[in-house]
Amino acid sequence: MTRILLIEDDAETAEVIVAELADRGFDVQWAPDGVDGLDQARAACPDAMIVDRMLPGMDGLTVIEALRKDRVGTPVLVLSALGAVDDRVRGLRMGGDDYLTKPFAIIELVARIEALLRRPMDSRETTLHVGPLELDLIERTARRGEREIDLLPREFRLLEYMMRRSDQLLTRAMLLEEVWNYKFVPATTNLIDVHMGRLRHKVDGPGDTQLIHNVRGSGFILRSRQ
Amino acid sequence: MRQIQFIRSNTFLWALAVAAAFALFVVGLFAFTYWKLDDYLIARSDRMITTRINFIADLPSARRIGAISDHLEQDSRGVQYAGLFKSAGTRLAGNIDSLPRALDLGGAAQGVRLDLIEKSAVHGPVIRVVGRRLENGDVLVMGRNVDETREISSVVGQALALGLLPAFCLCLLAGAWLSVRAQRRVEEVNQRVQRIVAGELRERLPEDNSDDPFARLARIVNGMLAEMETMINALAGVGNDIAHDLRTPLTRARLALERGRTHATTLEQLQEVTDKAMAGIDQSLAIVTALLRLTEIENSRRTAGFGNVALDEILREVCDVYEPIAEDKGIGLGVVIDRNVQVWGDRDLLFEAMANLVDNAVKFTPPGGQVRLELVSEDDTALVRVSDTGPGISTQEREAVLRRFYRSDKMRNTPGVGLGLSLVAAIVKLHGFRLIIGPAPGGQVEILAWTGRASKAAACRSRTSPLATVNQM
């Protein structure tokens, strides 16, 4: 069972997160402040951590820095009411951790935790396979079974990202950040949907089994098996 | 308390100092005049008695006594003295009783006390006297009373003193008046400022049309107050806009929840209701997020993220992102790049600005229209032009669209937060570029950027000068 440590000072928020993650089969421990959280993290060695940035006593980022100093590499999802992404947060993202601005949809939190837990497919591979899909990273070609798929560069990048994270819920915010490199929320809210529609049209041809699935209200999944 | 304040006031102290200096000057003048006059009168009488003594001495001895009495008779004011003495000191003629002992015979005129035959009221006046021993051994003495010089001097002194006193009083009065006036104005300004501090923003300092420093200062401060009032009102307006814009989606959410709570009977119905409510809340959150983002950019003094940014790449990328959306709407999206241009700036922010402009253009252009992205570069400027075949921005609306939450009435039903152009304006300002909104019909927004070294300087300027504003042509 995957163990997750939640360090969050607001009891009500913590309760909802714990309940939601427990429903999805995670074993969640809760620490209400930074000092307690750091102790628990050192004692229990969780698989992932969710840390609120602003905590009484010791702030979230300090907790993470303390852990990193002890060479604890547990992936961390930082929650913050601060929208501004500063240098410390940039550092976090470079280190493979993630950052989520409050308020967030619970599904977004779950998707990001799962993304953190499941490191993407080995990047040294030059060909990616998901079900009947095959992506040649060197030749920059894509095929589904025998059928060649003609992709624009951006579509290629999107498909590559999705194939590395197959069977995983990818939210619009994640795709915007990772594939489009957006640092802001675009005014047009269906931006991703339109692009995804294009890609799906190419990937899932008429008569094919659907591979790209739209998860209502939250994002998309590339399923390797039905 | 007020009395002490008045005396301590700077103006009054200055007036006092000026009065004192004036008095000192007058006294100095008096002393100088007295000294000069005295000298002059004594020298004159000395010359006169020397001439006279020489004249009488040159006469034959028999005529001397007659000449002396003539001389004394002609003197109606009784200021002339003369005496002829035997060498032993016996008086022969004149009105001097005895030969003064202190007299230096043959020397220059000197002040000596004389014993007179007719005692005057003033006992033993000091008289300028000259004596000469004649060739027959007699001694001739001639003198002149110089007390009148002292009289003249005292008259002059009195005149000056008489002038000094009113002048001194006038100085003090003027000082007191100026001091009271200044104090009164300061007091009035203070009261008005207190009212402004208390929140009465329409209050102004008293201002007359004179050109005195107080009035000028008041005009300057009033100008500043007017500017601040406008700004504060604008901020308050923003507060209202935010409240209004948040209220709309929140009302929808609340209504949906309320209806759902009473009417929903199945899980599906309840889910539908919650979806609606969540959509409302999400829109409110989007407004808050956009507003925070705007504040973040506006307050950003950081140019740490600045570097060389290829504008052509950004344009191509924006086009790439929006192309499918434009196509879905039946709008042609084209990009024309004259040549590759680099500017000094924050790549992410510039991308955000361009994306916002294109987003707006696509949103407001009716199906079948065209959106064009152009990059025109000259020697040291680059112009990014986003034009469309939509309704454009009318002259009256140009300023308003940069305001937060402004939504053209025509566009009330188009979804959006209404912060897009403000955001673009803030980013453009941060970079020291210029935002130019073109004439309607047909939307046209241009960003004029400086390339090369000039752009760095412009970015620096925009950080230091708070007045670097967005140009709306």
> Which tens digits make up the pLDDT trace of B347-367?
888 898 899 889 888 888 889
Query: What DSSP designation does A3 have?
Result: E
A140 — alpha (psi -120 to 50), left (phi > 0) or beta? left
A86–chain B Cβ distance below 8 A for any pair: no
Residue B416's pLDDT is what? 52
The set of residues, in sequence order, having a beta carbon less than 8 Å from that of A6 and lying 6+ positions away, is A14, A17, A18, A21, A28, A29, A30, A31, A49, A50
Residue B472's pLDDT is what? 38
B41–chain A Cβ distance below 8 A for any pair: no
* HEC string for B53-79: HHHHHHCCHHHHHHHHHHHHHHCCCCC
pLDDT in tens, A14-33: 999 999 999 989 999 999 99
A83–chain B Cβ distance below 8 A for any pair: yes
pLDDT range class, residue B30, cuts 50, 70, 90: confident
Other C-beta atoms closer than 10 Å to the C-beta of B155 total: 10
Spatial separation of the C-alpha atoms in residues A153 and A159, rounded to whole Å: 10
How far is CA B248 from each of CA B271, B273, B276, rounded to the nearest angstrom?
21, 17, 13
| Residue A4 pLDDT greater than 90, yes or no | yes
How far is CA B325 from each of CA A184, A218, B241, B367, B377, rounded to the nearest angstrom?
18, 20, 29, 11, 28
Q: What whole-number percentage of chain B has pLDDT above 70?
A: 84
HSE-CB of B159 using CA atoms within 13 angstroms: 11
Residue B451's pLDDT is what? 78
Which residues in chain A are closer than 8 Å to B416, comparing Cβ atoms? 187
Which residues in chain B are closer than 8 Å to A84, comparing Cβ atoms? 292, 296
3-state helix, strand, coil in chain B (%, to 5): 60, 15, 25
pLDDT range class, residue B452, cuts 50, 70, 90: low
Q: What is the mean pLDDT of chain B?
A: 79
Which residues in chain B are closer than 8 Å to A195, comparing Cβ atoms? 321, 324
Beta carbons of B296 and A83 less than 8 Å apart = yes
Residue B279's pLDDT is what? 86
Residue B344's pLDDT is what? 86
Residue A5's pLDDT is what? 94
Beta carbons of A190 and B325 less than 8 Å apart = yes
Residue B410's pLDDT is what? 46
Residue B462's pLDDT is what? 47
Residue B166's pLDDT is what? 83
pLDDT range class, residue B208, cuts 50, 70, 90: confident
Q: What is the least distance, in Å, from the CA of A122 to any CA of chain B?
A: 28
pLDDT in tens, A123-175: 677 888 888 999 998 999 999 988 899 998 889 999 999 998 888 899 988 89
pLDDT in tens, B220-247: 988 888 888 887 877 776 677 777 778 8
Query: What DSSP designation does A206 have?
Result: T
Amino acid identity of B55? F
Is the ipTM, as predicted for this complex, more than 0.90?
Answer: no
Length of chain A: 226
Which residues in chain A are closer than 8 Å to B296, comparing Cβ atoms? 83-84
Spatial separation of the C-alpha atoms in residues A76 and A201, rounded to whole Å: 36
pLDDT range class, residue B456, cuts 50, 70, 90: low
Query: What DSSP designation does B396 have?
Result: G
- Chain-centre distance for alpha carbon A145: 28
Spatial separation of the C-alpha atoms in residues A197 and A220, rounded to whole Å: 11
Q: Which residue of B has its CA nearest to A189?
A: B416
Task: List, as ranges, residues 347-406 from B with C-beta within 8 Å of A.
Answer: 348, 352, 355-356, 359-360, 362-363
Spatial separation of the C-alpha atoms in residues B216 and A18, rounded to whole Å: 67
Spatial separation of the C-alpha atoms in residues A137 and A128, rounded to whole Å: 8
Residue B151's pLDDT is what? 78
Q: Which residue of A has its CA nearest to B354?
A: A186
B305–chain A Cβ distance below 8 A for any pair: no
Q: Which residue of A has its CA nearest to B421?
A: A187
Q: Which of B268, B295, B296, B325 is best to mutate for the A interface (most A CBs within 10 A)?
A: B325
Residue A87's pLDDT is what? 62
Please choose, from the candidates B362, B355, B361, B357, the residue with its C-alpha nearest in 3D space to the C-alpha of residue B330.
B362
Most confident residue range from A27-36, A185-194, B194-203, B427-436: A27-36
Amino acid identity of B281? I
More confident: B114 or B263? B263
User: Structural domains in chain A?
Assistant: 3-118 (3.40.50.2300), 127-222 (1.10.10.10)
Residue B471's pLDDT is what? 40
Query: Longest Cα pair distance anywhere in chain A, in angstroms?
Result: 60
HSE-CB of B108 using CA atoms within 13 angstroms: 5
pLDDT in tens, B62-85: 888 888 888 888 877 777 888 888
Whether the bond into B441 is cis, omega within 30 of 0: yes
Compute chain B's Rg from CA coordinates: 51
Compute chain A's Rg from CA coordinates: 19
Burial B159-171 (b: 16+ CB within 10 A, else e): ebeeebeeebeeb
Q: Torsion over CA of A190, A196, A197 and A202, rounded to 10 degrees?
A: 160
Most confident residue range from B97-106, B232-241, B381-390: B381-390
Beta carbons of A103 and B417 less than 8 Å apart = no
